Structure 1
Amino acid sequence: MNKVDSASSGLAISGWAVTSPYGIGRSVFSEGLAAGRGTERAIEQGQGPAGTACLVPDFDSRAVLGKKGTRMMNRVTGMAVSTIGDLLRELGSDRLDPDTTGLVVGTTVGSAQSTIDFTRGSLTGERPFHVEPGLIPYAVMNGAAGQCAIWHGVKGPNATLAAGRSAGLLALNYARRLLLTRRAGTVLCGAAEEYSVARAWISEHSAGTDAPGAVLGEGCAMFALTADPTDEPPLATLLAVKATTCSDGDWYTTVRRCVEQATAAAGVRPSDVWMASPSGAAGPAGHAERAALGDLFDLGDRLVCVTELIGETHAASGALQLAAVLSLAEQNPESAELPAVVTSIDESGTVVACLVRLG
């Protein structure tokens, strides 16, 4: 097992925003989550090989963001731009310096649909370069992060992390490094994943660890992190992020060791953990992840798996898990000042554990 050490000295999470299969915004996300309401619904014929998915209801980039600059915008970019807009409105524009505000977006491959559409155009056009030029910015995986920065005038460091299901938590760690090295004063970070015919086809034909027939979901969650203390108490504090590679197939031992390293780095006793959220991956790896968390922490119904409600959101899963933890903590005063654990596993072998102290 190869370990990447990444403990945090404590960074403030000062805001968060979410777009999920419950709808746009924190309120509908919190309401749906608290009610334990599932979001799986039938999709229209031609939207994918499966008959159901967990989609953001009635999401359309042009309707949400306006017609200017959105004619060719793909779904994942639209969700990311919209969610960051919600986050900036929560924070207040006067609290951020655009020149020192960074942006980190986790993804799987960006938009599989845009990439395939671009490739198809180059193969079927009269000439290879006769492709729709508007597709070009969105056919690369960092298209969403770039468009978010342009749209909202964010001029600090801009990064895209392609790490599958672990992308959301690794984005937090990347943001941590930007802040601790003073390359940014505030970092907006999270992850986004879209549902598309192309993604559904790829998922069906390369299930890997995921069980065949896993219900796909989509969404985006973004957080504002800062290393500088403010007068207002943070919503949560990022204490540690640890990442490890499972190279021998022993997911249980790898997950357990990774979580133990995160709690040790943060100086947290397992008995103090208020909530844990596994990625909910299907198959043996997901079962091992949940078993490891269950053995480490005696949490009962506070071992929360949001994948069961909003579907397999791949790159966005870790960010949506953290959003769920923050949402449930807001509704439970007894969680104040207590730690929570979020874990993620990916079929590539990556295991990530994130530890936060709730506000």
Structure 2
Amino acid sequence: MTVTTIAADELVLSGWSAASAFGLGADRFTAGLRAGTGAVAPLDRAAWPGPYDRAGLIPGFDVAGALGKKGTRSMDRATGIAIATVGMLLDEFGRDRLGEPERLGLVLGTNSGSVQSIMDFTRESLTGAKPFHVDPARFPNTVMNRAAGQSAIWYGLKGPNTTIAGGSLTGLLALNYAVRLHRCGHGEPVLCGAVEEYSVPRGWLEWHARSRDGVAPAGGPAPLGEGCAIFLLESHSSALRQQRRPLAAVRGSRFLAFADPAAVRTLLARAVAEALAGAGLSPADVTVLAASDSDDDFGAQEEAALADVLGPNRPTRVHCRALLGDTSAASSAFQLAGALAELSDRSGHSHGSGHSHGSGRSGGSERRDGIALVTGVDRDGQVGATLLGTVG
């Protein structure tokens, strides 16, 4: 197997940033995966009442503390996390090296935006003196595209601005949309990723959604997490022109819908096989695997599908969920970050524009090239697979 050689107009990921339970920054994310120590911790029950007593929160994160008091009085947590993460990526390269603001796009994934804000606004409308006596400053936080729009306003990004919602597959869908946006000539470069906040209302919604007949499984559903991962997508020629090291080429994606949960294994195997075939690859070429690691029946079917397609191949595994908790909309974005970190480690890139980890992975060999496969299943009816490859 050889390192991927790509044309000047092929799309690459040339930078990324993350805010997670490991802390702020791609380096902390990478170091946390390398250490393999879980970042899910006990919650302060006074500050975070609800069904969960543990969660993967961003350590010490406060919107005003991260972004300053100006303009953040009514800003929700999800938006604050997104703005902070986008800012870290912009600061790494300098905005003057990211081209014209009118051409810099942003594709940000989320599930519902800020569940806390939606619930607070609804409650206020019902308990106020009259239903319409609400704080108008809080209304923008209730719309799904608040985080993407506010991030663009905060940093003066004037290119296309899109919000994607797709459950646990949101990160992969955001990347896929960004690829299409770029290839249609609407942005160069494009920032893409996904964000999720932790809140008590989200905790209750997830608890009931994952319980059967109102009864949670023994020990309760898996702990929740929060965070954001943002990637810089551009053409290979653009990265080289701006002296950015391409970290990985985007080799392709495949998404399929299902109505019958029993069909997940078959459909995901098909999605992976078609993604590989479309990229001119075989199952033996996969050297890094970042699956969702879901602890339910969907996760079991995902593992079975991967075994069906990959056969005897045992790629290096990247594990995020067990360390960070269930980060919902940000799940597959963190899987992408973990896969990208592993590929960067294999090709010897530095942490400033490429990252590495160790104990958050398992199995595999130490080859210095590779193809990363990122997969997921969303319980609302979709499976997906995305391929990244090291760049020669």
Indicate how the Cα distance of structure 1 residues 355 and 60 shifts in structure 2: closer, same or farther if over 3 A, else same: same
Aligned equivalents of 2:295, 2:79: Cα separation in 1: 27
Structure 1 residue aligned with 2:267 = 254
1:227 paired with 2:235, answer yes
Instruction: Give 2:316's match in structure 1, choosing from 293, 302, 315.
Output: 302
1:49 paired with 2:81, answer no
Conserved 8 A contact 1:180-1:227: no
Structure 2 residue aligned with 1:245 = 257
Structure 1 residue aligned with 2:222 = 214
| 1:188-199 equivalences in 2 (<5 Å) | 188-199=191-202
Q: Percent identity?
A: 45
The 3-state SS of whatever aligns with 1:136 is: helix
Indicate how the Cα distance of structure 1 residues 335 and 109 shifts in structure 2: closer, same or farther if over 3 A, else same: farther
The 3-state SS of whatever aligns with 1:29 is: helix
RMSD: 1.8
Q: Deviation per CA, 1:64-120, whole angstroms, max 9, x where unpaired?
A: 111111111111111100000011112221222210011111111111000000111
Unaligned ranges ≥5, structure 1: 1-8
Structure 1 residue aligned with 2:134 = 131
Q: Deviation per CA, 1:22-43, whole angstroms, max 9, x where unpaired?
A: 0000111111101111011111
Deviates more, 1:142-151 or 1:40-49: 40-49
Structure 1 residue aligned with 2:11 = 11
Indicate how the Cα distance of structure 1 residues 10 and 338 shifts in structure 2: closer, same or farther if over 3 A, else same: farther
The 3-state SS of whatever aligns with 1:110 is: coil
* TM-score normalised per structure 1: 0.93
Residue 289 of structure 1, CA deviation: 0.7
Aligned equivalents of 1:84, 1:195: Cα separation in 2: 19
1:236 paired with 2:251, answer no
The 3-state SS of whatever aligns with 2:266 is: helix
Residue 336 of structure 1, CA deviation: 4.5
Aligned equivalents of 1:274, 1:52: Cα separation in 2: 33
Indicate how the Cα distance of structure 1 residues 335 and 218 shifts in structure 2: closer, same or farther if over 3 A, else same: farther
The letter of the residue matching 1:306 is: C
Structure 2 residue aligned with 1:272 = 285
The letter of the residue matching 1:109 is: S
Aligned equivalents of 1:129, 1:188: Cα separation in 2: 37
1:92 paired with 2:94, answer yes
Q: How many residues align?
A: 351
1:345 paired with 2:377, answer yes
The letter of the residue matching 2:344 is: E
The letter of the residue matching 2:200 is: V
Structure 2 residue aligned with 1:203 = 206
Aligned equivalents of 1:44, 1:330: Cα separation in 2: 37
The 3-state SS of whatever aligns with 1:127 is: coil
Structure 2 residue aligned with 1:3 = none
Unaligned ranges ≥5, structure 2: 1-8, 348-365
Aligned equivalents of 2:211, 2:255: Cα separation in 1: 21
Residue 227 of structure 1, CA deviation: 2.8
Conserved 8 A contact 2:291-2:376: yes
The 3-state SS of whatever aligns with 1:198 is: helix
1:292 paired with 2:305, answer yes
Residue 301 of structure 1, CA deviation: 6.8
Conserved 8 A contact 1:10-1:239: no
The 3-state SS of whatever aligns with 2:224 is: coil
| 1:57-76 equivalences in 2 (<5 Å) | 57-76=59-78
